[in-house]
Amino acid sequence: MSDTINVSYDTQIPNNVGLSSDRRVLKALEKWHPGYLDWWKGQGPDGFQESLVYLRTAVSVDPKGWAKFDYVRMPEYRWGILLAPQVEGRIIPCGEHYGEPAWQEVPGEYRSMLRRLVVIQGDTEPASVEQQRFLGKTAPSLYDMRNLFQVNVEEARHLWAMVYILQKYFGRDGREESAELLQRRSGSDEKPRMLGAFNEETPDWLSFFMFTYFTDRDGKMQLESLAQSGFDPLSRTCRFMLTEEAHHMFVGETGVGRTIQKTCERMREAGIDDPTDIGRVRDLGVIDLPTIQKKLNLHYTLSLDLFGSEVSTNAANAFNAGIKGRYRENKIDDDHRLRDATYPVSEFTDGKIVVKEVPALTAINMRLRDDYSRDALGGVKRWNAIIKKHGFDFELTLPHEGFHRQIGTYTGAPITPEGEVITPEEWAARRDEWLPSKEDGDFIASLMKPCWEAGKYADWIAPPRVGIDNKPGDFEYVQLHMA
Ligand code: BYC
Ligand code: FE
Ligand code: FE
């Protein structure tokens, strides 16, 4: 195996980028490291820094066996810098430089554009850790707690991935940006995180599961398009990040699925046929399906906002420059320049939804969002299959793209989840039918009681079908040591 597959542990920072012979970058990262650890201890999982957690750590970038599992205290996790192997003869896959050899150094003319994208990507990673900081305290099982912490350490590693790019390729600006990535805070008034969804709360475990299903999936799509970057180091780092991302979405999909499963089982036992009989369902101590739909509506729409405006010159410029491609750009059969192509985009004008053909170059965000929505539909179908299997007549759906939007053409538009345009007054009056109300939040919060006995699960969620790393049902995924 070549040394770009095996990871070197000879420095404090595990890596496959030859850090020990790159003194300048190694020094810069070592200087950044203490501040990072302070951030982790202050903003990472609250109250569990001393616990031993059964975590996977990346030890190779070989797709067949890249991770090992072991108990670790989270502050001692080996956050490393891992790039997928270089692809021989890789070309710039899109835009005006299409077909030229991929860049190994930052192309000067695109420096600021590239830096902006790397900083935005980097900013979301610690933001999500901050958002999920208190969830350990109400974990419905040690299995779920471990999954939360796994997601957290890997998002933190994704921060390292972006900081490496900044420190290695962006000199002084890169160092400044790296410092600022540790200073902004999710939800802060003075120094908030950069993108909307990353300043929202993740107040309970159902939100956590919806977030990892829907928002981590935006992460997947954005990483897929950055993996298509003509700037090869960015492409390689994003390709490896995608390996880890799959587990985050698995946690989300199965978490929501297990919640639905438990609700359906309890309704059956109690002889309830109508899933919309919210009062009776809630009396069983499980989350009713209509409330699950509302949480879905919230997290899906916040995630749609992360794709930016439907029509965007930023996106056109990044594509044209060859800095950010489309989803699976290298598998698409066209000119990869989008000289004459068009793409349908809907627009909200004069209170009406109209579909227009626009130059495809300007609709790059919209296209990626469409790919995202298709991808997100898969899990929703599998959730519905659970409901159906229990014999209930109820279907979860993805709301209309115009519902509850804060970015793009639909910003603030009074549109129902079914896509009907109504008056702003009616929308405001009916908001709580579609989005979690204070009362819904209070009810869910009332169920969020810790359940930390190995092999046991809180009453609102079904156990998983299989353990992590094939561990048996009563495996102690976290050995608690409360601070
Ligand atoms: N909130 O032309 P526009 C992840 C700004 S998630 C606030 O419409 P553009 C993860 C925009 O910045 C993936 N502001 O959009 C998941 C611009 O501002 P400036 C994160 C927003 O630039 C879970 C202005 O509006 N990665 O990894 O084409 C856990 C007009 O912009 C928002 C990336 O996003 C918003 N939602 O596209 C952990 C990839 N949307 O510059 C991690 C990198 C837009 O005029 N980022 N604005 O001041 C990008 O590719 C693009 O920046 C965006 C926006 C797709 C986000
Ligand atoms: Fe991430
Ligand atoms: Fe993720």
Query: ∠ at Cα 331 (340, 235), nearest 5°?
Result: 100
Ligand nearest to the CA of 161: 2
Number of domains in the chain: 1
- 391 vs 379: CA distance, rounded Å: 19
What CATH number is given to the structural domain containing 447?
1.10.620.20
Quick one: what percent of the chain has pLDDT higher than 90? 94
Query: In the prediction, which pLDDT does 482 show?
Result: 67
**Cα–ligand 2 centroid distance for 312 (angstroms):** 24
- Whole-prediction pTM value? 0.97
Average pLDDT in the chain? 96
Spatial distance between the Cα atoms of 297 and 397, rounded to a whole number of angstroms: 9
Chain segment 64-76, per-residue pLDDT in tens: 778 899 999 999 9
Distance of alpha carbon 353 from alpha carbon 335, whole angstroms: 31
Q: Give the helix/strand (H/E) hosting 266.
A: helix 232-269
**pLDDT for the residue numbered 62:** 83
Q: Is 117 in the pocket of ligand 1 (CB under 6 A)?
A: yes
Asked whether 228 lines ligand 1 (CB < 6 A), one says no
pLDDT band at 104 (very low <50, low <70, confident <90, very high): very high
Using CA atoms, how far residue 313 sits from 307, 357, 377, 407, in Å, is 13, 16, 28, 15
Express as a percent the part of the chain with pLDDT over 70.
Answer: 98
Q: pLDDT tens across 200-243, in order? A: 999 999 999 999 999 999 999 999 999 999 999 999 999 999 99
Query: 52-58 and 342-349: which strand pairing?
Result: unpaired
289 close to 396: Cβ distance less than 8 angstroms: yes
Segment 138-158, tens digit of pLDDT: 999 999 999 999 999 999 999
In terms of pLDDT, which residue wins out, 70 or 61?
70
Specify the amino acid at residue 13. Answer: I
Cβ atoms within 10 Å of 63's Cβ, excluding its own? 12
Rounded to whole angstroms, the Cα distance separating 7 from 1 reads: 11
Is 2 within a domain? no
Is the confidence at residue 374, as pLDDT, over 60? Answer: yes
164 exposed, middle or buried (CB, 10 Å; 0-12, 13-18, 19+)?
buried
In terms of DSSP H, where are the helices of 44-190? 111-131, 142-169, 171-181
pLDDT of residue 3: 46
Q: How far, in Å, CA of 449 to CA of 456, rounded? A: 12
Q: Could you list the residue range(s) of the whole structural domain that residue 40 is in? A: 19-479
Within-domain flag for 30: yes
Give the per-residue pLDDT at 5: 63
Cross-sheet strand order for the sheet of 478-479: 67-73, 52-58, 478-479
Angle between helices 23-43 and 142-169 (to 10 degrees): 150
Distance CA(316)–CA(322), nearest Å, equals: 10
Q: Which ligand is nearest to the CA of 219?
A: 1
128 assigned to some structural domain: yes
pLDDT bucket at 457, cuts 50 / 70 / 90: very high
- Give distance in angstroms: CA of 355 to centre of ligand 3: 33
Mean pLDDT of 111-131: 98
Residue 134 located in a structural domain: yes
Whether 202 lines ligand 1, by a CB cut-off of 6 Å, is no
Any domain includes 4: no
The answer to whether residue 3 sits within a structural domain is no
Question: Is it the case that residue 38 has pLDDT exceeding 80?
Answer: yes
Residue 379 lies in a domain: yes
Residue 389 within any structural domain of the chain:
yes
